[in-house]
Amino acid sequence: MLRADVDSVEVTPIGTGQTGATYRVSATYAGPTDLPASFAVKLSAQDDAVRERVALGYRSEVEFYSLIADRMRIPVPRAFHHDISDDGADVVLVLADMAPAEQGDQIAGCSPAEAALAVEALAGLHGPSWCDPQWLALSAIVMPKPGDADAAKGLGDVCKMASDIVIERLGSSISPQDQQTLAASMAAVTDWLLAVPDRYALMHGDYRLDNMLFDPDRTRITVVDWQTIGVGLPTRDLAYFTATSLDPAVRAEIERDLVERYHRALVGHGVTGYDLQTCWEDYRLGLVQVPLLVALGTAFASTTDRGDEMMLVMLARGCQAIRELGTLELISSYR
């Protein structure tokens, strides 16, 4: 562990996190050191109710940085320190400050070049963990594990409830066609989770632009916010990213190229016995990750005006992709 005497620190908030607080801590040292001049420090939320609700997410992020990050190839900030209370409600993470990298804009979407960076980076999580049963033993997994029929049914029931809440609350802002796609997708969640239990890897779980930092010249990406780590069909992350982070017309034009780029990167990380056509079908299946997270996030989490706008944009993009790629029909073929 690196240590140094500190003369002074300057603390400034970063962002407006709803599940915690992040600060930039700039340090002045008493002497020469290899430590950086600034860090990003993540803390739990001040609100007791939020801390209790998000405790599993705090555990997930600490588990990622303590047990997983160094064994993957996905670019993430270096973790200098982490600690969490026994009940998971109080947490501290001291991470490398990635400034001047800039956060992606979920509503505006990204360019094809940024999308290419994101899908290649994602393979650095999926490839090294591909079908490795050791990751099934992680304690802080948010979503049902592959093949767990009872958990899949439980989540499916919750998702149907969530879609009803979303439509009741935001229905005037959701087109009738998207309402139908949302309801049908949430009704299919149990079958969807059980469709391909033998292909799995570690998943980010919320792989989208707001959780990515791009260097100013857009040649490097860093992935953050690991509170939704899980194990499941890897292309759920991939499809969630492309469907929510690209304008639908751009997504339809370049998604096959992005899937091919992702598949090549997987092979480069040692994945074998997984052909491109199967990867494409898995990508089509993975699109249900969009309405799943939008419904759960909108129905059961605290929201803001920007949050609602973001969720509506993501939902519209995701529902259009589900229809265009025949995802619900594909799920039916696995029954």
For the domain that residue 186 is a member of, what is the CATH number?
3.90.1200
Judge contact between 74 and 135, C-beta under 8 A.
Answer: no
End-to-end CA distance of the chain: give it in Å, rounded: 52
Quote the pTM value: 0.95
Query: Does a structural domain hold residue 260?
Result: yes
Residues 165 and 117 in one domain: yes
Residue 245 CA to residue 94 CA, distance in Å, equals 28
Residue ranges, the chain, pLDDT below 50: none
Biggest CA pair distance of the chain: 66
Residue 18: the pLDDT is 66
Residues 216 and 315 in one domain: yes
Residues 225 and 326 in one domain: yes
DSSP state, residue 303: -
27-78 tens-digit pLDDT? 999 999 989 999 999 999 888 877 888 889 999 999 999 999 999 999 999 9
Long-range (24+ apart) CB contacts under 8 A made by 95-98 are: 95/39, 95/40, 95/41, 95/42, 95/65, 96/36, 96/39, 96/40, 97/24, 97/36, 97/38, 97/39, 97/40, 98/40, 98/213, 98/222, 98/224
209 vs 81, 106, 223, 242, 326, CA distance in Å? 25, 5, 9, 10, 25
Judge contact between 13 and 66, C-beta under 8 A.
Answer: no
Residues 61 and 185 in one domain: no
Query: Does a structural domain hold residue 200?
Result: yes
Residues 235 and 203 in one domain: yes
Residues 90 and 110 in one domain: no
> Which amino acid belongs to residue 2?
L
Residues 173 and 246 in one domain: yes
Number of domains in the chain: 2
Show which of 50, 67, 96 is a domain's final residue.
96
DSSP state, residue 64: I
Query: Does a structural domain hold residue 54?
Result: yes
Residue 289 CA to residue 178 CA, distance in Å, equals 15
The set of residues, in sequence order, having a beta carbon less than 8 Å from that of 286 and lying 6+ positions away, is 233, 235, 236, 237, 238, 239, 240
Show which of 65, 96, 127 is a domain's final residue.
96
Residues 148 and 243 in one domain: yes
Query: Does a structural domain hold residue 273?
Result: yes
The set of residues, in sequence order, having a beta carbon less than 8 Å from that of 86 and lying 6+ positions away, is none
What's the CATH code of the domain at 70? 3.30.200.20
Residues 130 and 242 in one domain: yes
Residue 308: the pLDDT is 86
Query: Which is it for the CA torsion 114, 116, 120, 123, positive or negative?
Result: positive
Query: Does a structural domain hold residue 176?
Result: yes
DSSP string, 18-44: SSEEEEEEEEEESS--SS-SEEEEEEE
Query: Does a structural domain hold residue 1?
Result: no
Residue 303: the pLDDT is 66
Domain that holds residue 107: 102-333
Residue 245 CA to residue 236 CA, distance in Å, equals 14
Query: Which is it for the CA torsion 293, 299, 301, 302, positive or negative?
Result: positive
Residue 45: the pLDDT is 85
Residues 91 and 106 in one domain: no
Residues 75 and 223 in one domain: no
Show which of 72, 96, 120 is a domain's final residue.
96
Residues 276 and 192 in one domain: yes
Query: Does a structural domain hold residue 166?
Result: yes
